[in-house]
Amino acid sequence: MAVRIEDVAREAGVSTATVSRVINNQGVREKTRERVISAMEKLKWEPNLAARSLMTGKGRSVGVVIPSLTNPYFSEIVESIETCLTAEGYLGILVSSGSDRSDEREREVTETLIKRQVDGIILVDGTYENNHNGFLVSVARMLPLVVINGVPGLEGVDLVMTDQARGMVKVLDYLYELGHRRIAFFRADREASADVKMDAYARWHIEKGLTVDPAMIVRFTEVNRSRILGEMEEAVYRWIGALAEKPTALFACNELMALGAVRGIEKAGLTVPGDISLVGHDNTPYASLLKPALTTVEMKMGELGRTAARRMIDRLEGRGTEPQRISFSPELIIRQSTAPVADLYRK
C-alpha cells in the first residue's frame, strides 16, 4: 500500500513510464536502467500485480484442473507442473474437479478459473464427455489450453499425452511371450483413458487371432479410495470363483485395482504370479511397495507435467502458437508379479 511506481520514478529522477519499461524489460538506456533499479531496491518496491493485470489483462498465473489430489498418479503431475511454472515466475492455481469425475463440476471449476482471469489453463485427464462435447474447444477459444491425456485433434487445444495404446500393446506382447493367452482386463467405468486401453486390448486380440472373451473384461466403479479395497477383494474373489476357465494373466488399469486384484486372487487360494500374472498401470509408489512388486507401465507423469507447463509458458509468451500434440511412449517396468504361464496349464 505504501510505495508506488511514482515514488520510484521520483527517486530515480525519471518518469513512471520509464520505471514501467525497466520492469518490463523494454528498451531503456543502461545508465537509466541502473538508476531505476537501485531506486527500486532502496525503496523496496514491488509492482502491484492487481494494477498490472487490470491494465494488461494478464496476471502471470495459470489454472490447473485435476480430478483429484489424493491420487499419487495426479499428485506427481501437479508437482512437476507447479515446479516448472514457479521457476518461470508463474503461479499455478490448482483446483480439483472431483474424483467422481463429474462433467459438470469439471466445467464449473474451469469457468471459475476463467473468471479469475488466469492466463491459461492446464487440464489433466478430462472427462470423456467434456472431451467430446465441444467444451474444451470453446475454452481454447478464450485462452491457451493445454490438455494432458485427452483426445487428439481438438481445434486450438494443445495436447500432451502418453500413448496408452502403445503401452497396452507392450504389456500384451510381453505377456504373450511369457505364454499367456487368456488375459483379463480390469477397468474403471467412465474413464477416457480406460477406453483407449480397452480399444488397444481388443485390437491386439484381433490381430493375434485371439478371441476377446467378455467375461475377461471387468468394470469397477469408484476405485479411487482404499476404502473400496475390501469390496473389490470380494468382487474379484467371486468373479474368479464363477469363472469356468480362469485367466493366466490380468491387467489392471490402475494400481489400486491391481492391489484389489491381488487380494481377491489370494483369497481365492491362488497366487501371484504362480497362478496368475499381474500387470498394473501408472507405476505409482504403491507398485514397488507391493508384494510381489508389481510389473507395471510407467506413464512418465513428471515429464508430462513439465512438458505441459513449458508448452503453456511458450504460448503465453508468444512462442509457438500453433497447437501441438506431443506424445510420450510409456515404458514397461518388469518386476516380480509376472511369470511364464504355469506348466500345469500346458499339460
Partner DNA sequence: ATGAAAGCGCTAACAG
Partner DNA sequence: CTGTTAGCGCTTTCAT
Using CB distances below 5 to 8 A depending on partner kind, what does residue 93 bind out of DNA, a second copy, none? Answer: a second copy
Please name which of 89, 84, 70 lies closest in space to residue 25, comparing C-alpha atoms: 89
**Using the rule CB under 7 A, is 112 a contact of DNA?**
no
Amino acid, single-letter form, for residue 254: N
Strand stretches in the chain, DSSP E? 61-66, 91-96, 120-124, 145-148, 158-162, 183-188, 217-220, 249-252, 277-279, 296-298, 325-328, 331-333
Q: Which does 66 bind (CB under 5 to 8 A by kind): DNA, a second copy, none?
A: none
Report in angstroms the alpha-carbon separations of 101 from 213, 223, 262, 307. Answer: 28, 12, 26, 24
Contacted entry of a second copy, DNA, none for residue 31, CB cut-off 5 to 8 Å set by kind? DNA
Q: Which stretch binds DNA (CB under 7 A): 40-48, 116-124, 238-246, 302-310?
A: 40-48
79 binds, among DNA, a second copy, none (CB under 5 to 8 A by kind): a second copy
Q: Output 28 or 279, the one with its CB closest to DNA.
A: 28
Strands (E), 168-215: 183-188
* Binding flags for a second copy, 282-321, as an x/- string (CB under 8 A): ---xx-xxxx------------------------------
| Partner from DNA, a second copy, none binding residue 13, C-beta < 5-8 Å depending on class | DNA
- Contact, 256 vs 229, CB < 8 A? yes
Contact between 23 and a second copy per CB under 8 A: no
The residue among 21 and 181 lying less far from DNA, judged by its C-beta, is 21
Contact 327, 342 (CB under 8 A): no
Q: Record the cell numbers describing residue 226, joined without a space.
A: 482404499
* Residue 49 within binding range of a second copy, rule CB under 8 A: yes
- Confirm if 119 and 143 have CB atoms less than 8 A apart: yes
Q: In Å, how far are 61, 95, 159, 311 from 109, measured between CA atoms?
A: 15, 7, 20, 22
Other C-beta atoms lying within 10 Å of the C-beta of residue 15: 13
CB of 60 to DNA, least distance (A): 11
Q: Which does 20 bind (CB under 5 to 8 A by kind): a second copy, DNA, none?
A: DNA
Q: Give the range of 18-26, 218-226, 230-238, 270-278 binding DNA by CB under 7 A.
A: 18-26
Q: How far is the CB of 114 from a second copy (least distance, A)?
A: 10
Which distant-in-sequence residues (6+ apart) come within 8 Å of 1 by Cβ?
Answer: none
Q: Which residues bind a second copy (CB under 8 A)?
A: 1, 46, 48-51, 53-54, 57, 59, 61, 68-70, 72, 75-76, 78-79, 82-83, 86, 91-96, 109, 112, 115-117, 225-226, 229, 259, 285-286, 288-291
Q: Which residues bind DNA (CB under 7 A)?
A: 1, 4-6, 13-21, 23-24, 27-29, 31-33, 45-48, 51-52, 54-56
